Amino acid sequence: MSKRYFGTDGIRGRVGEAPITPDFVLKLGWAAGQVFREQGPAHVLVGKDTRISGYMFESALEAGLSAAGVDTHLLGPMPTPAIAYLTRTLRARTGIVISASHNPYPDNGIKFFSAAGKKLPDEREAAIEAMLEKPMSTVASEQLGKAMRIADAPGRYIEFCKSTVPSCMDLSGLDIVLDCANGATYHIAPHVFSEVGARVSAIGVDPDGFNINRDCGSTRPEKLQREVVARGADLGIAFDGDGDRVVMVDHTGALVDGDELLYIIARSRLAAGKMQGPVVGTLMTNLGLEHALAELGLELKRAKVGDRYVMEMLESCDGILGGENSGHIICLDRTTTGDGIVAALQVLAEMWRSGKSLRELKQGMTKYPQVLRNVRVRHKPDDLTAIEPVQRACVAVERRLNGSGRILLRPSGTEPVIRVMLEGQDADLIEQLAGELAEVVARSLA
């Protein structure tokens, strides 16, 4: 289904450049209100992260929804997964998130959750886009939507997060450093982890509208790694700007990425007899996770890159666990979308249950070295392997790898780039082969 504005994760771009402008967001609020109002009287939730443009877009959405006759419940700064949860529990028709996730502050975006707390179906997004083409109108004054603030939203979500682990879990004696990326978890995560008993130190909890994701959070965990070692902490946890991604750091300062966290959670569910279906990763998921899961008797299925596709595959195969190496982890036996805080709690619950450190828990998985080359091209063909020189080069590389690695050629969805990824046991060999294959792709598509 071709869409003009919606991408794989809502509508996103640079603030002030179409479509991320206040006039467009006003019209978007009105269009969404018209679509959701077709089912009868409706109220929607609106939450945001901490970037400065959120104030502007919150007001624009509120005005558009009001013009359509829809009531708005404003949550203020809240993690994206919190808005998904509250949409469900507060019986809203939809939840709207103003966020550009892990992007820097000049970017922003709008994404929607359904009443079930899941990504909006394609048909709904298409209906909103169709409504955007119509002239905007305003309902009669007595039908205008009202707006109200939900003051207890943080407390509701904090209690939900704690409910995803055993109520008897006590992390007393565990020292944790949190990095909240100066984003939407800044006033949530410290409460969650301290209320389950841990001693918490927090960085990235001073948002000013401009510093979200700046040299901090899950995309830049170097500061957290240093802090964990300097403080002699047991581990560190880093979220991205809107709280749907998480990576962790063990007591030595080593990074534990999304693939390793997914392995720990899968093994925990298996030990408890509560594992269901295959684990779903993406084309970028490390081969080491696939092999480690196979040793546990679990299958890894690979979806296209993007949490939307991971969710679709999970639902189609009745799975409960999926995610990406970036730290977007979905635990469908606990919640309806990727949730950084909930995922981190599942790992801590396994540490508590097993008595093992984070470093010990990840030992069952050995990550294969990965090399990624970005090749700038004039055009991006639909099927790279149909290009004869590229096909020959891939066959030659696979022969050299001899079953101990894999190749992935993938066009970027946002720029004129072909991503050439190689993975294998021999780091020097895949470095060499990635360079050779990238040169063939560059020559073939010059």
pLDDT of residue 380: 81
Specify the pLDDT at position 413.
67
Over residues 52-59, the mean pLDDT reads: 98
Token duo for residue 337:
């979308």
- HEC string of the chain equals CCCCCCECCEEEEECCCCCCCHHHHHHHHHHHHHHHHCCCCCEEEEEECCCCHHHHHHHHHHHHHHHCCCEEEEEEECCHHHHHHHHHHCCCCEEEEECCCCCCCCEEEEEEECCCCCECCHHHHHHHHHHHCCCCCCCCHHHCCCEEECCCHHHHHHHHHHHCCCCCCCCCCCEEEEECCCCCCCCCHHHHHHHCCCEEEEECCCCCCCCCCCCCCCCCCHHHHHHHHHHCCCEEEEECCCCCCEEEECCCCCEECHHHHHHHHHHHHHHCCCCCCCEEEECCCCHHHHHHHHHCCCCEEEECCCHHHHHHHHHHCCCCEEECCCCCEEECCCCCCCCHHHHHHHHHHHHHHHCCCHHHHHHHCCCCCEEEEEEECCCCCCCHHHCHHHHHHHHHHHHHHCCCEEEEEEECCCCCEEEEEEEECCHHHHHHHHHHHHHHHHHHCC
Sign of torsion, CA 257 261 262 263?
positive
Query: Domains of the chain by range and CATH?
Result: 11-151 (3.40.120.10), 173-255 (3.40.120.10), 257-367 (3.40.120.10), 370-444 (3.30.310.50)
Indicate if the pLDDT at residue 381 is higher than 70. yes
CB atoms within 10 A of CB 376: 12
Catalytic residue among 101, 114, 268, 326: 101
Q: What mean pLDDT is reported for the chain?
A: 95
**What average pLDDT does range 344-367 have in this prediction?**
97
The proportion of the chain whose per-residue pLDDT surpasses 90, expressed as a percent, equals: 90
Decide if 163 is catalytic.
Answer: no
Q: How confident is the model at residue 412 (pLDDT cuts 50, 70, 90)?
A: confident
pTM: 0.93
Averaged pLDDT for residues 212-240: 98
Sole residue written with tokens 């063990």? 250
Which pLDDT belongs to residue 63?
98
Query: Could you read off the pLDDT of 318-339 as tens digits, one per residue?
Result: 999 999 999 999 999 999 999 9
